Amino acid sequence: MVDDTFLQIGAVLGLALVGGLLAKLLRQPVIVAYIVVGVLGGPAFLGLVSAEDEIKLLAKLGIAILLFLVGLKLDIHLIRAIGPVALITGAGQVLLTAGLGYLLALGLGWDSSSAVYIAVALTFSSTIIVVKLLGDRRELDQLHGRIAVGILIVQDILVVIAMLAIVTVGQPGEQALASEIAWTLGGGLLFLAAVAMVSRFVLPRLLEWMAKNQELTLVFGVSWAVMLAAASSWLGLSMEIGAFVAGVALASTPYRESLGARMISLRDIMILFFFIELGSSLTLDGAISQLFPALIVTVFILIGKPIIVLGVMLAQGYRATVALRTGLTIAQISEFSLILVALGYSLGQVNDDLLSLITLVAIFTITISTYFITYQERLIAMLSPLTRVIERRFQGSGAEQNASHPYDAIVIGAGRLGSDIVRGLRDEGSDLLVVDLDPRALKTIGAYGVDTLYGDASDPDFIKALPLHETRTVVCAAPDRTTNMVVLEALQRLEFGGSICLTALDARTAETFEGYRHVTVVRPFKMAAHSIVDGVKAQMKTDDDNA
């Protein structure tokens, strides 16, 4: 066993690097690799992680920075922009998952207190995994991506409330007397009031000065997060609450993006110690004893969460395809699930078996859900017969309502690009039909006096049912390659006689589309770049003329 603390941390970091590289080669999340490194470096195997106090300190710093960055994202404008669908779906998913998870935990033989922890841990999904994978696939701006991110924001808020509740309850065996609860809540209110005063009268000037001294920005962010985390812990709250409040205090400032960008790399370094510490606490006996229950809970998460999201979104009028995509995206438990259970473990409310269970479930669900997101199109295609039956039961068919009406143009996609196209064509007097999967976007477009149709353009059967007879042009303003290709191939099979306009975000996609007849390709980023260049040239020419 390595005795020197510095050598131990160096060895652990080396293992983490190797594990991270292997995870990238296998296209797996590095979180799973870090937990596995903790298991291998723990007492059950190599015994590298014996400097427990030092690793725990680094892990706490990582958690504080992570929660600070979560709070930093929650400005009032973003919360308003979540929209009712994400709010309703997020709240509904949390309540239903928690209720069913509680019953499942009781069925597996856990006592009611442990069942509550399991139920709460199962409700949350991984912000880090979802945002990273959706970003890599350029799906953050698609409807299911926007809804999924909105759900994660709702969950982030709820997990902080859950942490506050855990701290308020206190140690097992203690009675949560009214006076103790009042003392905790009083300390919390005093803490919030003090932070509000500092945010109102001190931080604006301090941040303005910091903006002129960029080398101190990172030091300020870490100091602010850690100081408030320590103050919160001293007042009887958890340090996690303090770190989160530190982020919220800066969320509405103009410097939050710059500060967040500088701290993300530090978060990635520090949070790995939390996952390593968590993995090192997983013993071989504990893993074996909880393997079967963990597999049952994993199946519940992988199947139950998508079904719950599907039901809640169908009830709001969304298509089964969008609902299923959203559900598959969040079919895992969260890094906050692990933090929540670790908090309970530190308070003596959670035993080793429960910690082992949630750790195994995290490894299984995060790993498998990565494939859910990566191969989402194949899964949706496999389940398409079922989704069509569900849609007919919930919503009926939909494209026939406009089947006899010819249009000058059918615009597919009512997002930022599509809505601008619609406004431009409407101003020219064109008779339009706009197709989208987002009821809110269609409601906005409908206010312009334009016909709208709710439907999934990535379904060839839906394209077939559109009123294409005598329609002069079909414009696909959807940003993703898949939808544009489905629309193109469906129109080619139907021998559509009008012109087709498709959207391509990159040169390779544009070259593919340009190989077809009667197809015009729009490249928004390239057009925007040309517009900017023209504007810069015009300004430079004006400056030269005035010189």
**Ranges of each domain in the chain:** 5-383, 399-532
* Selected residue with higher pLDDT from 82 and 282: 282
User: Does 180 score more than 70 pLDDT?
Assistant: no
Contact indicator for 155, 379 with CB cutoff of 8 Å = no
Alpha-carbon 270 to chain mean position: 21
At CA 28, angle to CA 292 and CA 373, rounded to 5? 85
pLDDT at 182: 64
β-partners of residue 453 are 435
Domains 5-383 and 399-532 in one fold: no
In sequence order, what E strands does 73-166 have? none
The CATH number of 399-532 is which of 3.40.50.1380, 3.40.50.1860, 3.40.50.720, 3.20.20.80? Answer: 3.40.50.720
At CA 471, angle to CA 438 and CA 391, rounded to 5? 35
Amino acid present at 284: L
pLDDT at 255: 79
Tokens found for residue 165: 């509740």
Tokens found for residue 14: 């080396």
Least confident of 2-11, 310-319, 522-531: 2-11
Torsion, Cα of 186, 189, 194, 199 (10° steps):
170
Nearest-CA neighbor of 270 among 232, 235, 231, 218?
218
Quickly state the pLDDT bin for 296 (edges 50, 70, 90). very high
Distance CA 164, CA 158 (A): 10
Distance CA 531, CA 521 (A): 17
pLDDT at 401: 47
User: Does 31 score more than 70 pLDDT?
Assistant: yes
User: Does 398 score more than 50 pLDDT?
Assistant: no
pLDDT at 163: 79
Q: What is the mean pLDDT of residues 62-91?
A: 77
Helix axes 143-169, 178-201, angle to 10 degrees: 130
Distance CA 481, CA 487 (A): 10
Quickly state the pLDDT bin for 1 (edges 50, 70, 90). very low
Question: What pairing do the DSSP bridges indicate for beta strands 432-436 and 451-454?
Answer: parallel
Q: What is the mean pLDDT of residues 443-462?
A: 81
User: Does 403 score more than 60 pLDDT?
Assistant: no
Nearest-CA neighbor of 326 among 312, 336, 340, 344?
312
User: Does 81 score more than 50 pLDDT?
Assistant: yes
Record the pTM.
Answer: 0.71
Per the listing, tokens 């007097």 go with 429
Calculate the average pLDDT of the chain.
Answer: 81
Considering the domain delimited by 5-383, tell me its CATH architecture.
Up-down Bundle (1.20)
Sign of the alpha-carbon dihedral angle for 252, 258, 261, 264: negative
Distance CA 12, CA 18 (A): 10
Residue 378: exposure state from Cβ atoms within 10 A (0-12, 13-18, ≥19): exposed
- What percentage of the chain carries pLDDT values higher than 70? 89
Tokens found for residue 4: 């020197």
